[in-house]
């Protein structure tokens, strides 16, 4: 039996027109995207990109399109043929939880919309930015963050691969950290984001999400999900809400997550949703692994063909 790990991308993977070919070809995808409402559907398919990039739109848009792609895949592939786990990067964790059956689309979309609004408000109240560091080990990045913290919040927040770590905080501190990282030979890229995501500056969003999640009842999952805040396989209903709250203001341990999935013997990876960011990270974490992907009808057909060999 195949052991398949499903991966779902987070904010930053959005692009105008994503999911449109699924919408036009598959009734299930049309049903899902229509449920998201006319306003969001128009932004997904027509943009403009500036609107789609706003956190309050980007997060529900990515969630909707990823779930539409997943539902089409589930219709066309017999899930009894494989053992599954799932993981999602940041926002993508909600897609992974949906795929495992923790909640339905309506509740998932409602949670994600609230999360996007809370994060946008927190970003406006505590402005900041993020930057990727490439070529430095975690202890060096964390030391740089400590030095830069003399001028404001600066934290390592996305451990994406062994040598790609994203930092977040107030702009002055991030600028100082970029200078320090560049001085020791690292490549750095200041990201085009609207806030210091996953840092302690998101505490108000985390607090608001704790109250929001009290409104929902979760279901027993069909398979486990690796959670961002601790890189552990989670099936326990009593802890999942707590982990979703913590996730907003905690680092994404993606590198460790992928390594833990591989340790459990999962040898097939499928990225579901717009883009191939996670496929690229997988190759950096383990050069022997390669991900299939499902972002449009063509990639879906290729993935099904590969799985059915």
Tell me the catalytic residues: 90, 198
Tokens 């080990």 belong to 137
Burial class (CB in 10 A: 0-12, 13-18, 19+), 164: buried
**How confident is the model over 102-123, as a mean pLDDT?**
96
pLDDT for 231 equals: 98
pLDDT in tens, 260-269: 999 999 999 9
Taking 90 as the threshold, does the pLDDT of residue 33 lie above it?
yes
**How confident is the model over 157-163, as a mean pLDDT?**
96
pLDDT for 44 equals: 98
pLDDT for 238 equals: 87
pLDDT in tens, 68-109: 999 999 999 999 989 999 999 999 999 999 999 999 999 999
Taking 90 as the threshold, does the pLDDT of residue 1 lie above it?
no
pLDDT in tens, 45-66: 999 999 999 888 999 999 999 9
Taking 90 as the threshold, does the pLDDT of residue 148 lie above it?
yes
**At 194, is the pLDDT very low, low, confident or very high (cuts 50, 70, 90)?**
confident
Asked if 53 and 47 count as a contact pair (C-beta separation under 8 A), the reply is: no
**How confident is the model over 24-33, as a mean pLDDT?**
98
Pairing of strands 232-234, 164-169: unpaired
- For residue 296, the SS3 value is coil
Taking 90 as the threshold, does the pLDDT of residue 220 lie above it?
yes
Among 118, 248, 140, 235, smallest CA distance to 185 is for: 140
pLDDT for 192 equals: 79
Based on DSSP, count helices (H) and strands (E) in the chain, helices before strands.
14, 10
Taking 90 as the threshold, does the pLDDT of residue 126 lie above it?
yes
CA–CA dist 129, 133 (Å, integer)? 13
Pairing of strands 129-134, 164-169: antiparallel
Q: Which residues contact 281 (CB under 8 A, 6 or more apart)?
A: 160, 161, 164, 254, 255, 258
At 175, give phi and psi (nearest 5°).
Answer: -60, -40
Residue with more model confidence, 268 or 192: 268
How is residue 105 written in tokens? 């689309």
Residue with more model confidence, 281 or 81: 281
pLDDT for 193 equals: 84
Domains of the chain as residue ranges with CATH: 2-124+200-307 (3.40.366.10), 128-190 (3.30.70.250)
Taking 90 as the threshold, does the pLDDT of residue 222 lie above it?
yes
**How confident is the model over 17-33, as a mean pLDDT?**
98
Report DSSP letters for 79-131, one per residue.
GGGEEEEEEESTTHHHHHHHHHTSS-HHHHHHHHHHHHHHHHHHHHHS--EEE
């Amino acid at each position: 039996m195949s052991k398949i790990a499903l991966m779902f991308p987070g904010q930053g993977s959005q692009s105008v027109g994503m999911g449109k070919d699924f919408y036009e070809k598959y009734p299930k995808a049309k049903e899902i995207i229509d449920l998201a409402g006319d306003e969001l559907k128009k932004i997904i398919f027509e943009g403009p990109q500036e609107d789609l990039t706003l956190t309050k739109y980007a997060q529900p848009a990515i969630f909707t399109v990823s779930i539409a792609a997943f539902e089409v895949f589930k219709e066309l592939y017999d899930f009894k043929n494989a053992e599954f786990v799932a993981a999602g990067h940041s926002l993508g964790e909600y897609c992974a939880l949906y795929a495992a059956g923790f909640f339905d689309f309506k509740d998932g979309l409602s949670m994600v919309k609230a999360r996007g609004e809370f994060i946008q408000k927190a970003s406006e109240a505590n402005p900041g930015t993020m930057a990727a560091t490439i070529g430095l080990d975690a202890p060096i990045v964390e030391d740089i963050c400590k030095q830069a913290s003399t001028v404001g919040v600066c934290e390592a927040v996305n451990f994406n691969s062994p040598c790609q770590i994203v930092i977040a905080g107030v702009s002055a501190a991030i600028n100082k950290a970029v200078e320090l990282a560049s001085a020791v030979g690292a490549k750095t890229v200041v990201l085009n984001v609207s806030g210091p995501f996953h840092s302690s500056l998101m505490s108000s969003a985390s607090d608001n999400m704790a109250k929001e999640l009290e409104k929902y009842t979760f279901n027993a999952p069909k398979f486990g999900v690796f959670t961002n805040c601790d890189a552990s396989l989670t099936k326990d209903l009593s802890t999942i809400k707590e982990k979703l709250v913590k996730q907003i203001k905690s680092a994404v341990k993606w590198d460790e997550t992928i390594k833990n999935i591989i340790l459990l013997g999962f040898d097939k990876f499928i990225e579901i949703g717009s883009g191939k960011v996670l496929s690229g990270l997988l190759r950096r974490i383990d050069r022997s692994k390669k991900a299939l992907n499902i972002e449009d009808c063509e990639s879906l057909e290729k993935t099904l063909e590969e799985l059915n060999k």
